[in-house]
Amino acid sequence: MHDERQETRHAAPRGVLGGIRIADFSRVLAGPYATMMLADFGADVVKVEPPAGDDTRHWTPPVDATGQATYFGGVNRNKRSVALDLTDAAGLAEARRLAASADVVIENFRPGVMARFGLAYDDVRARNPGVVYCSITGFGAGRGAALAGYDLLVQAVGGLMSITGAPDGEPAKAGVALVDVLTGQNALAGILLALRERDRTGLGQLVEVDLLGSLLSALTNQAASTLATGTPPQRLGNAHPSIAPYAVFKAEDRELVIAVGNDKQFRALAGVLGLAGPGLADDPRFATNASRVAHRAELTAIIEERLAAASAAHWIDELAAASVPAGLVNDVAEAIAFAEALGLEPIAETRRTAGDAASDDGEHVSRSIANPIHLAATPAEYRTPPPALDEHAGADWHPRPAVE
């Protein structure tokens, strides 16, 4: 007879996703980013790792105070970890049992890998018809299945590098694995959409997202202009293809960004720079946005000649008083401090105390960037630090009974 206790969850439901279990077979960035976002809102995420652990556990330096790779720590809080060798019969059986108990299964292996282990969508759905199964690939499961889905590669073939970098320089990648992050956000949205549909029908479904599709969608105006004109955009450095002045400028001491979006703001900018009246804003070369774009180089030279007379901080204060958008080109530490100064609470803290699997002695505080999604009634919670490898081995997954 089926034990009714098997229907319970390991942890008491909490948060808007309390009671939702996620079997997370993903690794590195896109999948782990998505599942951390879900874990922050109460989902019970069980991270399935190979015996050697997620690759990013070994991407060091840098490391945190416990010696853990910061790359891994940045996207794996609020999760449990089990190490399973899928080539071993016992490990595979445990993985299948976990998948059968899950509300959500997520994986980012190359197409066909999960099928070899009997863990593909159709395999899991046979035992667990309510499962939402999210598959993340680089280039889809069709003709692009054999292509390796590395972020740098997708930035190149997906067009992003062609529009990033100086006009006279080489193509440049974004300073973070941006395509992986975008794909993780799309995976998050797809999973939540499928869970909402399951609320209606009781049935799960397959969710598929790929890195190339995520990047093309994120190209927005650049892709739209290409489709409309047949002419792909070129690299403009920090300039905007359709707005000016909307770029990085050099002041006396450092760079700042000025982001003028309309004629009113441009006239205000001219006033701050001491070029009001019959001057900059009335010059036919700069009177409209289209003319400013056409005469971008001349405009930049005039603006930077004036900005050189004072510090970037001085100009930002003056521009803010005139309602002209402007800001420093911050490094990452300055960006975090800026968010703190604005009261945005950008840092999440979790604590590991002595006696935990990954602790030697005393208490260690793990700091990561907070979840950017803010819900008034059911906010994100930061309960546990990124887990040690196999920290939760032997947990009882309380699987649902197999479908007869």
Q: Which residues pair with 44 in a beta bridge?
A: 21
Residue 4 — pLDDT band, cuts 50, 70, 90? very low
Identify the pLDDT of residue 205: 98
* Overall average pLDDT of the 364-387 stretch: 94
Q: Which amino acid, residue 10?
A: H
Rounded to the nearest integer, the mean pLDDT of the chain is 91
Catalytic (active site) residue 331: no
Q: Which amino acid, residue 397?
A: W
Say which of 180, 210, 317, 361 is annotated catalytic.
Answer: 180
* Overall average pLDDT of the 290-317 stretch: 95
Comparing CA positions, the residue from 107, 131, 104 lying closest to residue 117 is: 107
Residue 278 CA neighbour count, 13 Å, CB half: 0
Identify the pLDDT of residue 7: 37
- Which is it for strands 79-83 and 246-250: parallel, antiparallel or unpaired? unpaired
Q: Which amino acid, residue 400?
A: R
Which pLDDT tens digit goes with each residue over 47-86? 999 999 999 999 999 999 888 999 999 999 999 999 999 9
Identify the pLDDT of residue 276: 78
Residue 174 — pLDDT band, cuts 50, 70, 90? very high
Is residue 12 pLDDT above 80, yes or no?
A: no
Alpha-helical segments (H) within 41-177? 70-73, 89-101, 113-116, 121-127, 151-157
Per-residue CA distances from 150 to 55, 217, 393 (Å): 14, 18, 30
Is residue 256 pLDDT above 80, yes or no?
A: yes
Q: Which residues pair with 266 in a beta bridge?
A: none
Kindly give the interhelix angle for 30-40 and 178-201, rounded to the nearest 10 degrees.
Answer: 50
Identify the pLDDT of residue 355: 54
Q: Which amino acid, residue 28?
A: V
Structural domains of the chain, with CATH: 4-219 (3.40.50.10540), 255-328 (3.30.1540.10)
Q: What's the CA dihedral at 254, 259, 264, 267 to 10 degrees? A: 30
Identify the pLDDT of residue 365: 87
Residue 54 CA neighbour count, 13 Å, CB half: 34
* Overall average pLDDT of the 20-34 stretch: 97
Q: What are phi and psi of 368, to 5 degrees?
A: -145, 170
| DSSP character at residue 21 | E
Helices and strands per DSSP (H, E), number in the chain: 14, 11
Rounded to two decimals, what is the model's pTM? 0.89
Identify the pLDDT of residue 65: 86
Identify the pLDDT of residue 356: 57
Which pLDDT tens digit goes with each residue over 98-153? 999 999 999 999 999 999 999 999 999 999 999 999 999 999 999 999 898 999 99
Identify the pLDDT of residue 2: 34
